[in-house]
Amino acid sequence: MKLVRIIDMERCIGCRACVAACMNENYYIEGNPWNFVIEYETGKFPSVRRIFVPMNCMHCEEPPCMKACDAIGVQAITKNEYGVVLIDYEKCIGCKYCIAVCPYGAPHYIRDVKPIFPDGDKTPYDEVPAENRHWTHRKKPNTAEKCTFCWHRIEKAINEGKTDLIGKDPEYTPACDIVCPVKARYFGDLDNPESEVSKLIGSKKATQLKKEAGTRPQVYYILEGGDY
Amino acid sequence: MKHRLIFLMFLGVIVMLIAGCAQQETTKPAPSETPTPSEVQTSVPSKEYVTLKELAEKIRSGEIDVGNDYSMSLNGRFHTIHSKVLGLDCSACHVPSYAEDYIYQRKYEKPGGAPGVVDRSTCLGCHKEGGIATPWYGSANK
């Protein structure tokens, strides 16, 4: 099973519902969004256009972050059989090498674990103790973290034997993908030729960003004009 | 007649001088006088040229000590390799800001204390498959 995400940039309106959903789902801490929307303008007045590019970890097939982490013997980053790249916070030494090598800017460094509110008050989320959280949500200072494709949801599907529902049932699908109001996000198994993502990649010529890096991302984008 | 004789003698002296010089240039020292390689090295200052690839290998093998501080600090291994050993100027990697349409998740952040942001495409030159440095990046043609 190779899990992939497709983001339709022809449909994205830059509302950032995906960013908000990710923050709620993954115990956001200040300055470390796992999901982010880049925006810029193209064209000349009056023919201008605003481009929105939702970005998260690309879960590359050849992740440079993992290669760098392995090269220095830390081995805190792994890529599992479902294609999900995960960071083990217990092994991470906070060297930031993964941050330096990622062409997409996905990993973030946690300097301190601070409550979201500036006055120091804790939200109900902040108050959930680490032992009651999924291990991917146990924030730790001096570590790197990034999008996990909502691994806690995928893991649940695996444990319950419902992998066929990944990308279809909201319970087993990443939070960002189920909240999109304009249906610009899709998630599913690329190894299944009948999945929606497989069909979309073929029919809409969805492509990866920064292909020159040769990391073969598992997040695809439907761009105006198709593949490049 | 006397002048002619003097001229011929003068010409003879010049020919002998030229012949002498030529002999001096072509004369090779006897085998016993040939300097040994060590004598050459000590007498002539030599320069050892190392290619970037060899340098990278020496860093990987530990022959060149770049420390064990795996961090992005200025004295850490990362900056030691790139700036102190490889001699890259800060501006080789750090640019004042990203282009308007640069696609990068932490586009609006600048590393603390850094002279500018880093365009990751610079890294591709050496760190791709088949490059001189440790290959973080694959081939775009796959």
Question: For residues A55-89, b (16+ Cβ closer than 10 Å) or e, as one string?
Answer: bbbbbbbbbbbbbbbebbebebbebeebbbbbbeb
Identify whether A46 is preceded by a cis peptide bond (ω within 30 of 0). yes
In this prediction the pTM is: 0.83
C-alpha pair distances (Å), A185 with each of A20, A124, A179: 15, 29, 9
Rounded CA-CA distance A120/B14 in Å is 102
Do B84 and B64 belong to one domain? yes
Q: Which H helix or E strand runs over A91?
A: none
Tracing tokens 């500018």 back to the chain, one arrives at B116
Would you place residue A125 in the very low, low, confident or very high pLDDT band (cuts 50, 70, 90)? confident
% pLDDT > 70, chain A: 98
Dihedral, B72, B76, B81, B84 alpha carbons, nearest 10: 110
B28 vs A105, higher pLDDT:
A105
Rounded CA-CA distance A110/A128 in Å is 18
What the block records as the tokens of A22 is 């990710």
Amino acid present at A163: T
Number of A/B CB contacts below 8 angstroms equals 85
Domain that holds residue A201: 3-222
Q: B85 to chain A, minimum CA–CA distance in Å?
A: 18
Predicted-complex ipTM score: 0.89
| Domain annotation covers residue A228 | no
Do B97 and B122 belong to one domain? yes
| Domain annotation covers residue B61 | yes
Rounded CA-CA distance A6/A206 in Å is 7
Q: What is the pLDDT of residue B26?
A: 46
Do B79 and B96 belong to one domain? no
CB contact at 8 A, A182 and A38 = no
Would you place residue B45 in the very low, low, confident or very high pLDDT band (cuts 50, 70, 90)? low
Do B103 and B141 belong to one domain? yes
| Domain annotation covers residue B127 | yes
pLDDT of residue A37 exceeding 50, the answer is: yes
B142 vs A91, higher pLDDT:
A91
User: What residues of B are in contact with residue A103 (Cβ under 8 Å)?
Assistant: 104, 120-121, 123, 137
Do B105 and B122 belong to one domain? yes
- How many domains in chain A? 1
Would you place residue A227 in the very low, low, confident or very high pLDDT band (cuts 50, 70, 90)? low
| Domain annotation covers residue B33 | no
Do B63 and B81 belong to one domain? yes
| Domain annotation covers residue A227 | no
Smallest CA-to-CA distance from A2 within A194, A221, A192 is with: A192
CATH number at residue A82: 3.30.70.20
Domain that holds residue B103: 90-142
| Domain annotation covers residue A62 | yes
CB contact at 8 A, A227 and A6 = no
A148 vs B9, higher pLDDT:
A148
Cβ-defined contact of A95 to B100 (cutoff 8 Å): no
| Domain annotation covers residue B135 | yes
Distance from the Cα of residue B53 to its chain's centroid:
11
What the block records as the tokens of A220 is 């695809």
| Domain annotation covers residue B54 | yes
- How many domains in chain B? 2
| Domain annotation covers residue A42 | yes
| Domain annotation covers residue B98 | yes
Do B102 and B142 belong to one domain? yes
| Domain annotation covers residue B24 | no
| Domain annotation covers residue B57 | yes
Which of B103, B118, B134 is facing A209, going by the closest CB pair?
A: B103
